[in-house]
Structure 1
């Protein structure tokens, strides 16, 4: 089963950490959390805050404890294939989040893998040439994606919606 994931973060620096996480299961159900920074999570970018619109004060007041979010995430995504549109960044942020509870971050795959599988299941028995055409359609779909909202749940839902449409043969 695929899990469609998105994170928002304190910055894009090496010391950044996740401030918001959301995931969507194949059935469209989702979970989303603001994450209260750990005491040693001090990195902060005003530019990142301007994009996602979440202040550090908001996280301190409304965020859930990082350990609780990490435990919930690990339990909810066990035995699932996690896909995202930014695997390199999300791997680092998940490693940071899961490290709070002494766990390593899970394997994260590019969302393109899920989209290609959805297309192939909707168009079984196609030739290699047709596969290439389908892949081109997936890439066009990615380019046509609505602009990112820079909030975790709407962005994860958009990844899932594309997968669902491809799976159902709606291009």
Structure 2
């Protein structure tokens, strides 16, 4: 099953670490957790805090222990198709989190949501692929679904990716209907 993941982080520096994780399954089940920083994780950007609104004090008070998060991730996410809008960044923070939990960094792997969107549209439009710019259709859906004011929190961002999957499927179905009624 497809699962969309998203992270918020302490900054965008090479020493950044994850501070929030969320995922949403294709069937709508979701989970969001603040991450209690590991001792020694000191990187912090005030600008990043202004964007996501998560303070270090909030993480210390309400964050969940890394070991607990990693155990839950392995139980819930293993064997699923894990997707992220930005797997280079989200993959970095996934690796940091897994290693901090004592798990090899490749125990869970991400791939780009856009690739899954193209695959979903191609499956619907099989047989018509040569007539349709499937990547263009996906790009149009992504562009038209950009929020006016991004939330910059992990769960809403993961849910947006799931909504985009549904929108891509709807656009592909509409395109298929227009092709078969000619």
Q: Could you say which TM-score interval applies, normalised by the shorter chain? A: over 0.9
Q: CA deviation at 1:120?
A: 1.8
Contact 1:122 1:166 (C-alpha < 8 Å) held by counterparts: no
Contact 1:21 1:153 (C-alpha < 8 Å) held by counterparts: yes
Alignment counterpart, residue 163 of structure 1, candidates 144, 151, 165: 165
CA distance in 2, matches of 1:141, 1:155: 16
Number of residue equivalences: 169
Q: CA deviation at 1:54?
A: 0.4
CA distance in 1, matches of 2:62, 2:143: 34
Partner of 1:108: 110
**Structure 1: gaps (5+ residues):** none
**Structure 2: gaps (5+ residues):** 176-182
Partner of 2:73: 73
TM-score, structure 2 as length reference: 0.87
Contact 1:32 1:153 (C-alpha < 8 Å) held by counterparts: yes
TM-score, structure 1 as length reference: 0.92
Cα RMSD of the aligned pairs, angstroms, is 1.5
Contact 2:2 2:81 (C-alpha < 8 Å) held by counterparts: yes
Q: CA deviation at 1:138?
A: 0.5
- Tell me which structure has the larger Cα radius of gyration: 2
CA distance in 1, matches of 2:51, 2:104: 28
